[in-house]
Amino acid sequence: MAEPLLSIRNLQVQFRAEAGWVTAVDDVSLEVGERDCVGIVGESGSGKSVTALSILKLHDPATTRMPCGTIQYQGADLLRAGGAALRRIRGGEIAMIFQDPMSSLNPVLTIADQIGETLRRHQGLTEAAARKRVVELLALVRISDAARRADDYPHRLSGGMRQRVMIAMAIACRPRLLIADEPTTALDVTVQAQVLELLRELRRELGMSVILITHDLGVIAEFAERVVVMYAGRVVEQAPVDDLFRRPVHPYTMGLIDAVPKLDGDAARLTMIPGRIPGPQEDIPGCRFNPRCALAQASCRVAPPSMLALNALQSARCPPRVAALGAQHG
Amino acid sequence: MIRIIAVKLLQAVPVILIISILAFLLLSLLPGDPAVIIAGEQASPAAIAHVREQLGLDRPYVEQIAIWLFNLAHGNFGASLILNQSVLSAVGERLPVTLSLAALSLSFTIPTGVFLGSLAACYRRRWIDAAVMTIALLGVSVPAFWVAILGVVLFSVRLGWVPSSGFVPLSKGIGPWFASMVLPALILSLFQIGFLARMTRAAMLDVLSQDYIRTARAKGMSEWQTVGKHALRNALIMIITTAGILLSAAIGGSVIIEQVFALPGIGRMVVQAIMARDYPLVQGTMLILGFAFVIINLFADVLYSLADPRVRHE
Amino acid sequence: MSDVAITAPAVVAVPRRSGALRRLFRHRAFVIGFCIIVLLTLAAIFAPVISSADPAAMKIRFRFRAPSQAFWFGTDQFGRDVFTRVLYGARISLFVGFSVCVTSGLCSASLGVIAVQFRRIDGAIMRLMDALMSFPAILLALGIAAALGPSVSSVVAALSVAYIPAGVRIVRAAGLTVREMDYVKSAQISGASGLRIVTRHILPNCLGPLLVHLTFIFAYAMLAEAALSFLGVGIQPPMASWGNIIAEGRDYATEAWWVMLFPGIAISLAALSLNLLGDALGDFLDPRLKGGG
């Protein structure tokens, strides 16, 4: 891969709690190339949304800090970017859509106004030109009767329609990177498929890179090219999507894949990972997955493991498994 | 929306009826015979009998209520005992004073309160927030009549900037009118600014934590646009629901302020009527004000329905 | 002094954690408010111990003395010691504030619970409350106090009535929300009596919002009492109340500023401390609105 579009290095995110700062995301590194589609997967509480929000610095600065790490976008560190530079990138270069389309749209502004202000902000369009473009965008995200819909308020639209509006808003200025944070989670199953299909088509048409955040491995399998698995605020495995499903390295990834219902319908094979994800303030010595891990060894409880490469494309934060698999192949 | 307004209108009907009966019952709170109390302990039996007959106190209770409601339905709110004038005309004469005081004070209150509250919410936990909230807290804690007296001593007696008391009607020119009203209106707005700033801050904090604010930021909107357009519009809808309270507090507060500045408004008239035991005037004025507030609250409800597209398109 | 803040009817139970009280005492606003109000209460209770002077004793010889070592807050037109009068005024003001709190609190809680439990008369109760709420609280209290005649008990009665409607709305809103909770519905289905549902579920959940509201009512009632006394329909001279000391000092405000200055500061301090307490309790019971956001 040539110079990546976006590269996150050793990102750490901390939130203010009653008893000081707690670390929600630690040592997260990932890269997104031109026209790349990276899926970030993990349970809720794994830090995947926190990571995504950090890219555009959307956390509340009063209660959040990012003490170390860099987020490089086209040679500039977004974490150190401020004011005008950051606002030019937000919505213009990097756009984001969120999980809940119900609450993510402003209830007192029309659709046209909300999409149009992005265009006016970044492309300097006039009111009339922006409106014309809004109707085109709504048609592009397959909203029928776009001209009339543009003047509606969000509450008049269904959940799937609202997410389409969010997508139209995000792609309005032809961003080079789209961050989709659980874009289908709040939607009905049938609508989920339509929205994913729309995202796939738009990605091809517009040639943008996508970071897709989800807890659903099924969505990842369909959509992503590369996968980043997160657990308890850390990246535990990175791999191309086919390699990940064919040969998961980290025991947590294995557990996740086993928890996906298979179409052959053998219910006995559907297993769950015992226990629950630890909160950011819980202090677990060694590997943060070790209390739930069937393969845990004594060494796993001593020092926090670092990411180890199995090969050029796949790496995982599990020294015993990487060593075992490496020996098999080597 | 029409349906919501219709329901509110229907609800207002029993409220108006209850207010009428409550106002009637006010007289029966008087310890002892109202006729004796109104006429005075030393009044002659003939005078007492005259009062009793004039107020219809010699009739059965139910009949009194019926007559009272019948008169109200015909726009007859009773007559003052001392002013030689009907309650309606007495109130009408003094209404401009009270209304202009309330209006002027609200014109100070609303921009200042909304601005301070938004400022505090945007800079929460910083020194601006602390400073604004301290001012707001003082506003709702300091008795207005006391500040009014201090204000008169300072600005009228010591500095001579404004007249210490008295009312100049608007017809005598806007300058003199403003000079006579500005200090009372400012002092009246102190409590209101504090109240509104606290309300606005709470509403803004609630709105600023919503997802659509994050969306606006993610679109690259400036902080000014995010707060001024996306947040404030939503917060204002919540604030509109307190518009009725604000106006009612402004008029309630003017009762006291009028007393300090000797402004010939409704509040001063009520206090004078109480001192003179002109209970029919007190009763009638309270009733008119009660009706006025029912209408004001109805307007606030309609305004709210118009402001919120979710309600407007119901 | 004008009207009642409609605190958001958020349904929050009083946290029963053991550290709750300690956490409350770590809240700066709470500690400041608590200290001021405790000091004022102690001053009111021990007024005769703190000052040996008689609040009503007139010594024309000493009239209009400026604040000095002998007369901390100076003397008024009758030569009475203003410091002593402010101390004794605290008794009246705090008594009125507290009594209004308790009376209107009990009435709002009962009416609110009745409105929640007996849905058929809910409409009637709420229309009555709407009617009372159509009047600015101070005006309603003025009318009632005027009809009852000037005395401590009529001021308490008038203010209690004036502040009941807002309390009923808060209790009712909280109660209706709790009633819709699944655990209350399931208790109902499993045959819990109405009384049990009220005492076990509805009352405890209304308590938090009501408590916050009543703290503010305490402050409003004291300010309103002062206003009523200032207007001459509240506490009558020679009994000292902060409001009527200011009213008496008003005519001499230019020359003898101290007569009206100190009682005003006393009211402001008392109201300030209660507002601080109310804010702190509100934060504590509904941390959503705390600075954090």
Q: Write out chain B residues lying below 8 Å of C234, CB-based.
A: none
Closest CA–CA distance from residue A14 to any residue of chain C (Å) = 15
Task: Choose the mutation target among B206, B214, B219, B310 for the interface with A, i.e. most A CBs under 10 Å.
Answer: B219
Encoded tokens for C196? 């049990």
Closest CA–CA distance from residue C180 to any residue of chain A (Å) = 23
Q: Does B290 map to a domain?
A: no
Given a cut of 80, is residue C13 above it in pLDDT? no
Closest CA–CA distance from residue C193 to any residue of chain B (Å) = 32
Taking the Cβ of residue A109 and every Cβ of chain B, the question of whether any pair is shorter than 8 Å is answered with yes
Q: Which of B146, B192, B274 sits opposite C260 (nearest CB)?
A: B146
Question: What is the three-class DSSP state of B246?
Answer: helix
Q: Does B208 map to a domain?
A: yes
What is the rounded CA–CA span in Å between residue B63 and residue B56? Answer: 9
A55: how many CB neighbours lie within 10 A of its CB?
A: 22
What is the rounded CA–CA span in Å between residue C213 and residue C7? Answer: 7
Q: Write out chain B residues lying below 8 Å of A90, CB-based.
A: 217-220
Which chain C residue lies closest to B273 (C-alpha atoms)?
A: C146
Question: What is the three-class DSSP state of A212?
Answer: strand
Encoded tokens for B77? 């709110």
What is the residue whose two structure tokens read 């000079």?
A: B179
Name residues 128-187 of chain A within 8 A of B (Cβ).
153, 155-156, 166, 169
Residue A329: the pLDDT is 62
CA trace torsion B24, B27, B29, B33 (10° rounding) = -140
Encoded tokens for B279? 């209970």
Identify the helix (H) or strand (E) that includes residue B207: helix B174-208
Q: Write out chain A residues lying below 8 Å of C291, CB-based.
A: 62
Range of the domain at C130: 20-51+71-285
Given a cut of 60, is residue C75 above it in pLDDT? yes
Given a cut of 60, is residue C14 above it in pLDDT? no
Which chain C residue lies closest to A61 (C-alpha atoms)?
A: C292
What is the rounded CA–CA span in Å between residue C250 and residue C243? Answer: 11
Q: Write out chain B residues lying below 8 Å of A58, CB-based.
A: 214, 217-218
Type of residue numbered A101: P
Per-range mean pLDDT, top range of A16-20, A244-248, B22-26: A244-248
Residues in chain C: 293
Q: List all residues 6 or more positions away from A231 whose beta carbon is below 8 Å from its beta carbon.
A: A42, A43, A46, A250, A252, A277, A288, A289
Taking the Cβ of residue C218 and every Cβ of chain B, the question of whether any pair is shorter than 8 Å is answered with no
Q: List all residues 6 or more positions away from C174 whose beta carbon is below 8 Å from its beta carbon.
A: C9, C10, C11, C205, C206, C208, C209, C210
Closest CA–CA distance from residue A162 to any residue of chain B (Å) = 12
Which chain B residue lies closest to C130 (C-alpha atoms)?
A: B15
Range of the domain at B176: 94-278
What is the rounded CA–CA span in Å between residue C216 and residue C205? Answer: 19
* B255 compared with C291, residue with greater pLDDT: B255
Closest CA–CA distance from residue C168 to any residue of chain B (Å) = 16
| Cα separation of the two ends of chain B | 5
Type of residue numbered A59: H
Given a cut of 50, is residue C77 above it in pLDDT? yes
Taking the Cβ of residue A63 and every Cβ of chain C, the question of whether any pair is shorter than 8 Å is answered with yes
Closest CA–CA distance from residue B14 to any residue of chain C (Å) = 7
What is the rounded CA–CA span in Å between residue B222 and residue A122? Answer: 11
Closest CA–CA distance from residue A107 to any residue of chain C (Å) = 20
Task: Choose the mutation target among A73, A103, A106, A121 for the interface with B, i.e. most B CBs under 10 Å.
Answer: A106
| Angle at the Cα of B73 from the Cα atoms of B72 and B78, rounded to 5 degrees | 20
Which chain A residue lies closest to C291 (C-alpha atoms)?
A: A62
Q: Span A6-17, mean pLDDT?
A: 92
Q: Which of B22, B129, B143 sits opposite C227 (nearest CB)?
A: B143
Q: Does C80 map to a domain?
A: yes
Pairing of strands A308-309, A234-240: unpaired
- Residue A108 in contact with residue B213, Cβ under 8 Å? no
Q: Span C266-272, mean pLDDT?
A: 94
Encoded tokens for A55? 């890219």
Identify the helix (H) or strand (E) that includes residue C270: helix C257-285
C153: how many CB neighbours lie within 10 A of its CB?
A: 11
C34-40 own/partner pairs: CB under 8 Å, 24+ apart: C34/C273, C34/C277, C35/C273, C36/C269, C36/C270, C36/C272, C36/C273, C36/C276, C37/C270, C37/C273, C37/C274, C37/C277, C40/C90, C40/C94, C40/C266, C40/C269, C40/C270, C40/C273
Count of domains forming chain B: 1
Q: Does C4 map to a domain?
A: no
Residue A270: the pLDDT is 56
What is the rounded CA–CA span in Å between residue B154 and residue B160? Answer: 8
| Backbone phi, psi, residue A72, to 5° | -90, 125
Task: Choose the mutation target among A16, A103, A104, A108 for the interface with B, i.e. most B CBs under 10 Å.
Answer: A108
Residue A3: the pLDDT is 78
The CATH number given to whatever domain includes residue B127 is 1.10.3720.10
Question: What is the three-class DSSP state of A284?
Answer: coil
pLDDT in tens, C129-180: 989 988 888 888 988 888 888 889 999 999 999 999 999 999 999 888 888 8
What is the rounded CA–CA span in Å between residue A313 and residue B76? Answer: 91
Task: Choose the mutation target among B37, B126, B133, B149 for the interface with C, i.e. most C CBs under 10 Å.
Answer: B149
Taking the Cβ of residue A61 and every Cβ of chain C, the question of whether any pair is shorter than 8 Å is answered with no
Give rounded-to-5 percent helix, strand, coil for chain C.
70, 0, 30
Given a cut of 60, is residue A267 above it in pLDDT? no
Q: List all residues 6 or more positions away from C150 whose beta carbon is below 8 Å from its beta carbon.
A: C232, C233, C234, C235, C236
Q: Write out chain B residues lying below 8 Å of C1, CB-based.
A: 143-145, 191, 253, 256
* C141 compared with A274, residue with greater pLDDT: C141
Task: Say yes or no for a CB contact (<8 Å) between B220 and A98.
Answer: no
Encoded tokens for A311? 């090969």
What is the rounded CA–CA span in Å between residue C231 and residue B256? Answer: 7
Taking the Cβ of residue C3 and every Cβ of chain B, the question of whether any pair is shorter than 8 Å is answered with yes
Q: What is the DSSP string of A13-52?
A: EEEEETTEEEEEEEEEEEEE-TT-EEEEE--TTSSHHHHH
Taking the Cβ of residue B308 and every Cβ of chain A, the question of whether any pair is shorter than 8 Å is answered with yes
Q: Which of B125, B230, B309 sits opposite A62 (nearest CB)?
A: B125
Closest CA–CA distance from residue A83 to any residue of chain B (Å) = 8
Q: Write out chain B residues lying below 8 Å of C136, CB-based.
A: 248-249, 251-253, 255, 289, 293
Task: Say yes or no for a CB contact (<8 Å) between B198 and C147.
Answer: no
Q: Span A262-270, mean pLDDT?
A: 57
Q: Does C11 map to a domain?
A: no
Residues in chain B: 314
C87: how many CB neighbours lie within 10 A of its CB?
A: 24
| Backbone phi, psi, residue A326, to 5° | -60, -40
pLDDT in tens, A173-206: 999 999 999 998 888 888 888 999 999 999 999 9
Q: Does B260 map to a domain?
A: yes
Kindly state the percentage of chain C with pLDDT values over 90.
34
Q: List all residues 6 or more positions away from A128 whose beta carbon is below 8 Å from its beta carbon.
A: none
Count of domains forming chain C: 1
Taking the Cβ of residue A19 and every Cβ of chain C, the question of whether any pair is shorter than 8 Å is answered with no
What is the rounded CA–CA span in Å between residue C59 and residue C251? Answer: 19
Kindly state the percentage of chain C with pLDDT values over 70.
90
Q: Which segments of chain B have a pLDDT < 50?
A: none
DSSP tag of B210: S
Which chain C residue lies closest to A59 (C-alpha atoms)?
A: C293
Encoded tokens for B51? 């009062």
Alpha helices in A174-308 (DSSP H): 189-206, 217-223, 241-246, 251-258
What is the rounded CA–CA span in Å between residue C225 and residue C243? Answer: 7
Q: List all residues 6 or more positions away from B200 whose beta carbon is below 8 Å from its beta carbon.
A: B113, B114, B116, B117, B118, B121, B235, B239
Task: Say yes or no for a CB contact (<8 Å) between C139 and B289.
Answer: yes
The A308-309 sheet, strands edge to edge? A94-97, A177-181, A209-214, A37-41, A226-231, A234-240, A315-316, A308-309
Which chain A residue lies closest to C292 (C-alpha atoms)?
A: A63
Q: Does C173 map to a domain?
A: yes
Q: What is the DSSP string of C168-193?
A: HHHHHHHHHHHHTSHHHHHHHHTT--
Task: Choose the mutation target among C28, C37, C126, C135 for the interface with B, i.e. most B CBs under 10 Å.
Answer: C135
Residue B257: the pLDDT is 92
pLDDT in tens, C217-263: 999 999 999 999 998 888 888 888 898 889 888 888 788 788 888 99
What is the residue whose two structure tokens read 């002027």?
A: B104
Residue C293: the pLDDT is 28
What is the rounded CA–CA span in Å between residue A172 and residue B241? Answer: 36
Task: Say yes or no for a CB contact (<8 Å) between B211 and A98.
Answer: yes
Taking the Cβ of residue A60 and every Cβ of chain C, the question of whether any pair is shorter than 8 Å is answered with yes
Name residues 182-241 of chain B within 8 A of A (Cβ).
210-212, 214-222, 225, 229-230, 233-234, 237
Task: Say yes or no for a CB contact (<8 Å) between B256 and C1.
Answer: yes
What is the rounded CA–CA span in Å between residue A288 and residue A248? Answer: 18
Task: Choose the mutation target among B123, B128, B215 for the interface with A, i.e. most A CBs under 10 Å.
Answer: B215
Type of residue numbered A166: M
Task: Say yes or no for a CB contact (<8 Å) between B313 and A104.
Answer: no
Q: Which of B195, B198, B270 sits opposite C142 (nearest CB)?
A: B270
Closest CA–CA distance from residue B150 to any residue of chain C (Å) = 8
DSSP tag of A267: G
What is the rounded CA–CA span in Å between residue A150 and residue A134? Answer: 7
Q: Does C31 map to a domain?
A: yes
Task: Say yes or no for a CB contact (<8 Å) between B217 and A103.
Answer: no
What is the rounded CA–CA span in Å between residue A25 and residue A51? Answer: 7
What is the rounded CA–CA span in Å between residue A195 and residue B86? Answer: 71
Given a cut of 70, is residue C43 above it in pLDDT? yes
C partners (3+ CB pairs within 8 A) are: A, B
Q: Span C30-40, mean pLDDT?
A: 91
pLDDT in tens, A58-102: 988 888 999 889 999 988 898 888 788 899 999 999 999 998 888
Task: Say yes or no: ipTM exceeds 0.95.
Answer: no
Report the candidate in A111, A108, A101, A109 with the shortest Cα–Cα distance to residue A135. A111
What is the rounded CA–CA span in Å between residue C172 and residue C178? Answer: 10
Question: What is the three-class DSSP state of A74?
Answer: coil
A partners (3+ CB pairs within 8 A) are: B, C
DSSP tag of A288: T
pLDDT in tens, B48-66: 888 888 777 777 878 888 8
Given a cut of 60, is residue C12 above it in pLDDT? no
pLDDT in tens, C61-73: 777 777 877 777 7
The CATH number given to whatever domain includes residue C41 is 1.10.3720.10
DSSP tag of B153: I
Pairing of strands A308-309, A226-231: unpaired
